[in-house]
A and B are shown apart, each in its own frame.
Chain A
Amino acid sequence: MIWNIPFITVALLIAIGLYAVMFKRNLIKIAIGITIIESGVNLFLITLGYREGGIAPIYTNLPPGVKAPEGMVLPVPQALTLTSIVIGVAVLALTLSFIMKFYEHNKSLDSHSRRLKG
């Protein structure tokens, strides 16, 4: 049961994020929602590579007594997560700058402040 906690957290994070994106009207909250979904997915990736009692997969200054590579966690999901974090930074910066421009034009962060177009 205890091993399932990360996965439950992942599901919760993604659900919370989707809720924020779909039902919040404030643009900043939508951006936060996207970031929460991203954290959920990243957590999922990291959890996949976890091995009980494993150490970071680095050979430099390996602690004595650790068998390599059996005693290490998987490096590939970590590389994937890192890439996704880097992309996330770029996406967040761009989203926030759009929000700033939006505020400049409309003097509001409410997504309903503009009329709907057919």
Chain B
Amino acid sequence: MIYNEAIPAIAIGLPLLAAFLTPLINIASKKARNAFVLAILIIEELLVILLAWHVFTNDIVIYTMGAKNPTGAIPTQAAVPIRIVLEIDGMAAFMGLISATVSLAAGIYSIAFIKESNAKARYYTLLLLMLAGMIGMEFTGDLFNLFVFLEILSITSCGLIAYRQHADAVEGAFKYMVISNIAALFVLFAVALLYAQYDLLNIAAIAHVMQYTQLDKIALVLFVAAFAMKCGAVPMHFWAPDSYSTAPAAITAMLVAASQASLYALFRVSFTLYGSLMSYQTIGIAIIIFGLLSMFIGVTMALPQKDIKRLMAYHAISQTGYMLLGVGVGLYLLGSQDFNTYGIKAMEGGIFHIINHAMYKGLLFLTAGAIYYRLGTRNLNEMGGLGHTMKFTSIFFMIGALAIAGIPPFNGFASKLLIYEACYKVSPILSIVAMLVSILTLASFIKVFHSAFMGPKLHDVKEVPKSMLLGMAVLTFVIIFFGVFPGWVVNHIVHPAAMALADKMAYIAAVTGGA
């Protein structure tokens, strides 16, 4: 198939259109609706892979909405970009792959997992809108557009968290709503501060003329605070256990990808928008400290949990710490001579960990959902002996647990090794803490595995339906693939993404045209 320049816009527009066609198709037939949603998710995945392949082999792709010549960002009569520009570099394409894959798995999983009811059409509408929000956030090159997609993402995810409408779910959704709303308003305020000075909304164009005045610093603080709130780093992590544990399992997997979209926005703002202007070391150390705190507090809070999804949610916080640590070390070393050897490696580790985390944490949440589907409980004390009957689920859980603990040959090992090696250069303490957290993670998951799957047969349950197994299998396949071929993945997918973050001039030049 020939590369089509309109793919970025179609990748955002297709789930939007499909979201609103879903309730209309639902009237005709429930089966047709399921098939339609699946077809859209598969097409979306293919589109993103095609686009990512193009970006990784060629160059940054830009697309100007509504322009006569969509590949040129700046209209002929103007000196700056005035239309909404989509800009996809290695990092954005990489994040797009994560979102599309997780959504595909969640979509397949939901067919059996969500009980058939009138609200199921709305469930799929919101799921597709959530995908559109994530892809939009990652592909856009425009700050205000980023805010709009951020809001689409938070509104739809809140709606989905509260899908089951019991008291805990409503509480989780309300917390998430307040947090993401305040975060989004911070972002809007920061965007307004930048617009007031430069009359621009395009990320690349602002980065090109950035003066780093006092107001810019305030905007930076607002951006970092807002996106750190949304991605669940430790001082602002309290919403995560509540909303992760109460949402339907498929949505929890999507929420992991959604908080990573915020993480992407954090990296995009700190690397591309501010980049060389700010003091790398201060921001780098701040991100490293965020990371260490998240890792340690996340895992220690996870150990005593009895609710399986709450436990996993605390692990999600802890794993976010690894990503922050990796990229923080990269940022700390950026510009120094060590960057080319250790800094880039740390960033590769952090970025590789993003995709690994989305895959294995998504898988773990899906297995937890499978247990909930059969037993109707999330309490570990009421489980036991499930390995006798739910064979596939226990295998999938085992793979996810070994991957999160960083055991070879699964993908978690590959990215954690990169992080350990690179952090050692900055301070051995960082590597020691990272390894300690990894061991605690393993301990915690052994506990879960033991109490849920081992032991005498306590419950007479059957294996979960095929569509749920298929959804889990999609993620398992990716985990094993990444675990067996880490070298290929790092060279062809992760390295371009890390370089795209480090090299902000290329991002700027794609819009402003040289200079």
Chain A positions near chain B (C-beta within 8 angstroms): 14, 18, 21, 27, 30, 34, 37-38, 41, 44-45, 48, 76-77, 80, 83-84, 87, 90-91, 94-95, 98-99, 101-102, 105-106, 114, 117-118
Q: Which stretch (B31-39, B166-174, B389-397, B434-442) binds chain A?
A: B166-174
Of chain B, the residue at the smallest CB distance from A98 is: B174
Q: How far is the CB of A91 from chain B (nearest CB, A)?
A: 6
- Grouping DSSP codes into helix (H, G, I), strand (E, B) and loop, the A interface class, with mixed when no group exceeds half, is helix
Chain B hits for A101, CB < 8 A:
162, 165, 170
Interface string of B290-314 (1 = CB under 8 A from A): 0000000000010010000010000
Find out whether the CB atom of A84 lies under 8 angstroms from the CB atom of B188.
yes
**Looking at the complex, which one of B182, B192, B195 makes contact with A34 (CB distance below 8 Å)?**
B182
- Grouping DSSP codes into helix (H, G, I), strand (E, B) and loop, the B interface class, with mixed when no group exceeds half, is helix
A-B contact sample (9 more), CB < 8 A, given A34-B182, A34-B185, A87-B148:
A21-B178, A30-B178, A34-B178, A34-B181, A80-B144, A80-B192, A94-B155, A105-B170, A117-B242
Q: How far is the CB of A15 from chain B (nearest CB, A)?
A: 12
Q: How far is the CB of B292 from chain A (nearest CB, A)?
A: 21
Chain A hits for B242, CB < 8 A:
117
Chain A hits for B173, CB < 8 A:
98
Find out whether the CB atom of A98 lies under 8 angstroms from the CB atom of B158.
yes
**CA A27 to CA B170, docked complex, whole Å:** 12
Chain A hits for B166, CB < 8 A:
105
Name the interface residues of B148-182: CB closer than 8 Å to any CB of A: 148, 151, 155, 158-159, 162, 165-167, 170-171, 173-174, 177-178, 181-182
Q: Is B362 an interface residue (CB 8 A)?
A: no
Name the interface residues of B36-95: CB closer than 8 Å to any CB of A: none
Contact count A vs B, C-beta below 8 Å: 78
Chain A hits for B185, CB < 8 A:
34, 37-38, 41
Closest 7 CB pairs of A and B: A105-B167, A101-B170, A98-B174, A87-B151, A48-B196, A41-B189, A45-B192
Of chain A, the residue at the smallest CB distance from B167 is: A105
Q: How far is the CB of A49 from chain B (nearest CB, A)?
A: 9
Chain B hits for A34, CB < 8 A:
178, 181-182, 185
Find out whether the CB atom of B189 lies under 8 angstroms from the CB atom of A14.
yes
**CA A24 to CA B181, docked complex, whole Å:** 17
Q: Is B248 an interface residue (CB 8 A)?
A: no
Q: How far is the CB of B152 from chain A (nearest CB, A)?
A: 8
Q: Is B241 an interface residue (CB 8 A)?
A: yes
Q: How far is the CB of A47 from chain B (nearest CB, A)?
A: 9
Of chain B, the residue at the smallest CB distance from A37 is: B185
**CA A77 to CA B147, docked complex, whole Å:** 14
Find out whether the CB atom of B177 lies under 8 angstroms from the CB atom of A91.
yes
Which of B166, B167, B241, B242 gathers the greatest number of chain A CB atoms within 10 Å? Answer: B167
Find out whether the CB atom of B177 lies under 8 angstroms from the CB atom of A37.
no
**Looking at the complex, which one of A14, A77, A80, A98 makes contact with B177 (CB distance below 8 Å)?**
A98
Q: How far is the CB of A14 from chain B (nearest CB, A)?
A: 7
Of chain A, the residue at the smallest CB distance from B301 is: A118
Interface string of B204-217 (1 = CB under 8 A from A): 00000000000000
**CA A76 to CA B202, docked complex, whole Å:** 13
**CA A101 to CA B144, docked complex, whole Å:** 32
Find out whether the CB atom of B178 lies under 8 angstroms from the CB atom of A41.
no
Can you list 5 pairs linking A and B with CB atoms under 8 Å apart?
A: A21-B178, A44-B189, A94-B159, A94-B177, A95-B174
